[in-house]
Structure 1
C-alpha cells in the first residue's frame, strides 16, 4: 500500500482543474484496500475513489482519502457457447479494453470506443454511446466493501442499471452495515460504501452490427460499406467522436456534462408545439429522450464562456477549460465550471421547463 501526502490532482482529472489530495493511496490490488481498511490511522477515514478523473469536477482540495484505482490486467475469463467473458482490472482505460477485445476477435464493444475513463468507473455511470450501454454487455463485477474489507460480486440485476445510473450512485439503505456473504443484497445503495476492483463483460459470439444511430448510418453511406465489420465500426466511432469532441490532453473537459433528459410523450408534444425542431428519441419504455446538447445550443450557449469555463463550439453538451489545463494558476476552477453549468441549467429550464442533470461527480 503506497500512501502519499499533499498530492497534486491536476493531471488526475481530465478538466485539468488544479487541486490537491491531502492523502492519496494507490490501489494496485484488492490487498491494498484491505491493508488500508485495517490500518488504525487511515482505515476509518472518509474516502473518495478516483479512476481516470474523466467524470469529476473538483471544486477544491480533497479532504477525504483519495483511493486512486490502478488495478490492471485484461484476460479472457471464460468461454461459453454464446459468449466470450472478458475481465479487466478497474484501473485499465476503458478505450484500451475496447481495442484489446477487438484485437483478439471479441466483438461487441465497438460502439463505445473512445469513451474516456477507466473500466472500474464504467458500471458506476452505466456508460454508453451510439446505441449501446454497458448494461447490454455486462456480466458481473467484483468489489470490496469499504466497511468490512470483504470482497463480493454483483450481477447486472444487483447493479440496478439505469440511464447513466447504477446502485453505486445511490446512498446506502439502512441499516448502515450489512454482512457480506459473497454477494450484495438487491436494491442496496452502495455510494461511498464499496469500490469496484474488476469488471467482466459478456461479448456475443453471434455478433450483429448496431447501426441505429444516424451518425453511424451517415458514416456507413459515406464509406459505401454494406456489411461493416466490428473493426470498421470501431474506426467510424473514433472518427465521429474525434470530430465532435475535444481531446482532454489539449482542451480540458469531462465529456458530456449533462444527461439527456427523458419526458413523457405528453410533455414532449407540449415542447414540440413551442419548438418543433427539438431533437428527440422514443425509448423502449414509452418515454421520450430529449437531446440536451440541442437545447443548450438553442439557448445560445454554444461557444460562450464564463470566466475560464466555456461551452465547446462543436458540441454544446461539452463544457471545456478555456484556461491552460497544464498551469496551476491559469487553469479553470471547479467553481467557474459549476457557475457556467448552473447558468445553462437556468436558461434551459426557463425556455423548455426541463431541469438538466449534470453527469460528473462534483467534489
Structure 2
C-alpha cells in the first residue's frame, strides 16, 4: 500500500464530492459508512466525521434509520466529472509543454457540454496493489500526463472501470498519445547534416532514450557522418563538463539537438565563442529570450490532437482510441 499524503478525512471528502458530482440532481443514497471505511482502510468514526462536515455544509442530507443522501438543491446537475493527473500525481510545477497540452485538451472537452467539470488530481488518493486508486473510480474519465513507469500496471487496471488516456508515455493497456523520438531526431539530424553540420551532439530525453539515439545514428549513417557514444549527453552538470572537454580538445559540436529543456546549457552556449557558428534544435516551448538561439525549432501540435484526446475520454471503446503518434513539425528560424 502506498500511503496518502492527505489526512483520511480529506481523502473521504474528495471521494464523496466526486460521487456527488456524478449525480443528476435527484437525491441518491451514499454508500454506507462501513463500505467507505473498508474502501479507504480507515475506522468508521473517521468516515462519520468527514460525512458530518459535508452534512453541515449542505452537500448531504441525513435521514435517520434510512441513510445519507445527496442534496439535489446543493449539488445541482452535473453530467460528467473529468480528472487530470500529472506525472506521479504529486507534481508541484508545470512545464510549458504540460500547460499547452492540458489547455488544448480541456478547452476542447469543455466546449462539448456546459455541465462538464474538471478536477486536477493531487495524489491524496492511496494506491493499493490490488484495487489501484479508490477515489479515482468516481470520475467519468482521466487524462494522465506522463505517468511514472511503475504506475502503468495500476493504470491499466484502473482503465477497466474508468476511461483513461495517457499522453507523453507509451502504454499498451490504455489509449496513449506519445512522441516518436526516433523519427523526430532522424528528421532533425538529417536537416542539420544536409545544411552542413558534421559533428552532432544529442542531449537525450528523460524517456525513450534508445529510440532518440537511434534516430540520430540513422541520419548520420546515411550522411556518412560520425556519431560516437560520447556525443550523447544528459541534462546534468557532468554532461556540461563533458561538453566543455569537447571544446577544449578542439571537437566543438556544430549542431546540438536538445530533447529536454536546455536551461543548464544556455550560459555556456551564449558566452563561449566556440559556439558562435553552432546551430541548435529545441522545442519551441523551451526557447526563452535569454538564449541567443539559432537553428531549428518545432514540437508537437497539441491543437491537432486535442479533439482525439477528448473523443477517447468520451468514447473509450472507439477503435481509433489506440496508441497514436503525436504529429511533429520542424522549421528553421
TM-score, scaled to structure 1? 0.28
Larger radius of gyration: 2
**Which structure has the highest strand share of the two?**
1
TM-score, scaled to structure 2? 0.30
**Which structure has the highest helix share of the two?**
2
